[in-house]
Amino acid sequence: MRISKCFVCGNRCLGLKGQDTICDTIFLQQGHEDKKVIKAKAFGECHLSCLIKSEWGVFWARRIMENFVQVRNYAVIAHSKTTTLLRSDKLRTTYLIRDDGWIADIHDKALQKSTIVNAGYLLPVKEVFYLPLSDMPPLIDEIKSAFQNRHHYYLRDLLNALALRPYLIYPIAIEKGLLRPLETEASQELAISANAEYAEFIPDELVTTIWSNVDIWYKPRLEDY
């Protein structure tokens, strides 16, 4: 079982939406900078908070943008300060790429279910969460007993236990986040599998820019939900 590590700081990376991202080598080209990135192993999973402060954030923002525009044909629909908004109507998703490497993908459905908080919006995230914890058996026991006793475990407690709280870019988004046991839990001795329910924070001005450029409420709903 591989423990995912942030390529910038070397600490564990949980892959939380809105907090972490993947700088995937599929975005790389043949240039001199790309060779430098490979040599420095500056790719893979990372905390967004680490990426934007690192020397690699600007490079990755550029490469991801080039891929989204030239390869995936996403349309550039607006700019908000240093953030570019791209859109795939087919996927009903708006992509935000900031010059420093901060990136978000926002499905229309998440935006429709968002709640307003100070300075921004919280978009609900629900996903199956898998975390190898072979190095921390006591934490596995703690989570499993919480699952048995109260049917949930706070995501913030997990982040505290793993000393990852300082790496959150928007702590408010996981404050009420929960892990819940899966209906049918496969026997995992050294890992946690759970349903994760938390939020993704998007700043005010970006949500406003999306609302004014995308006709989200009037799009026909797709069959699958």
Residue ranges that bind Zn ion, judged by CB under 5 A? 6, 8-9, 47, 50
Provide the β-strand partners of residue 203. 120
* Closest separation in Å from C-beta 44 to Zn ion: 11
Nearer of residues 3 and 222 to Zn ion, judged by Cβ: 3
Collapsed DSSP state (helix, strand, coil) of residue 115: strand
Residues 6+ apart with CB under 8 A from 95: 68, 74, 85, 86, 87, 88, 103, 104, 105, 106
* Closest separation in Å from C-beta 78 to Zn ion: 30
* Closest separation in Å from C-beta 167 to Zn ion: 5
Nearer of residues 6 and 14 to Zn ion, judged by Cβ: 6
Cβ–Cβ under 8 Å, residues 102 and 203? no
Smallest Cα–Cα separation from 169: which of 73, 58, 47, 67?
47
Nearer of residues 45 and 108 to Zn ion, judged by Cβ: 45
* Closest separation in Å from C-beta 8 to Zn ion: 5
Nearer of residues 104 and 164 to Zn ion, judged by Cβ: 164
